[in-house]
Amino acid sequence: MLSFCQWLQATAFFTDLRGSGIIYPSILSLHMVAIAFFGMMILVTDLRLLGVGLKSYPVAELLGRLRVPKYFGFALIVTCGVLLFGAKAEEYYYNIFFRFKLIILLLILIHGAVFRPSVYRNGAALDASGLTGQAKLAATLSLVLWVSMAICGRGIGYIEPNLFKLHARATQTGTADTSRLQAAALRVPVLGAGVIR
Partner 1 sequence: MLIQAAVENVLNASALIFPALECFHIIGFALLIGSIVIVDFRLLGVGLTREQPSALTKTMFPWTLAGLVLIFFSGPLMYSTDPDMYYLNWSFLIKMACLLVALVFHFTIHRTSVNRWAAEGAAKGVAYTSLVLWASVVFGGIFIGFVSQGL
- Contact residues toward partner 1 (CB under 8 A) are 21, 24-26, 28-29, 32-33, 35-41, 43-44, 53-54, 56-57, 61-62, 65-66, 69, 147, 150-151, 153-155, 157-158, 193-197
Minimum CB separation from partner 1 for residue 91, in Å? Answer: 16
Compute CA distances 2 → 89, 93, 136, 182, 197, whole Å: 9, 7, 40, 15, 29
Cβ proximity to partner 1: between 2 and 143 the closer is 143
Cβ within 8 Å of residue 134, ≥6 positions away: 115, 118, 119
Instruction: Considering the complex, state which of residue 24 and residue 92 has its C-beta at the smaller distance from partner 1.
Output: 24
Distance of closest approach, residue 64 Cβ to partner 1, in angstroms: 11
DSSP line for 144-177? HHHHHHHHHHHHHTT----HHHHHHHHHHTT-S-
Nearest to 141 by CA among 119, 164, 174, 169: 119
Cβ closest to partner 1, residue 155 vs residue 161: 155
User: 50 or 183: whose CB is closer to partner 1?
Assistant: 50
Least distance CB 84 / partner 1 (angstroms): 11
Shorter beta-carbon distance to partner 1: residue 158 or 164: 158
Q: Could you tell me the smallest distance in angstroms from the CB atom of residue 137 to partner 1?
A: 22
CA dist 39 and 133 (Å) reads 23
The Cα 41–Cα 45 span in angstroms is 6
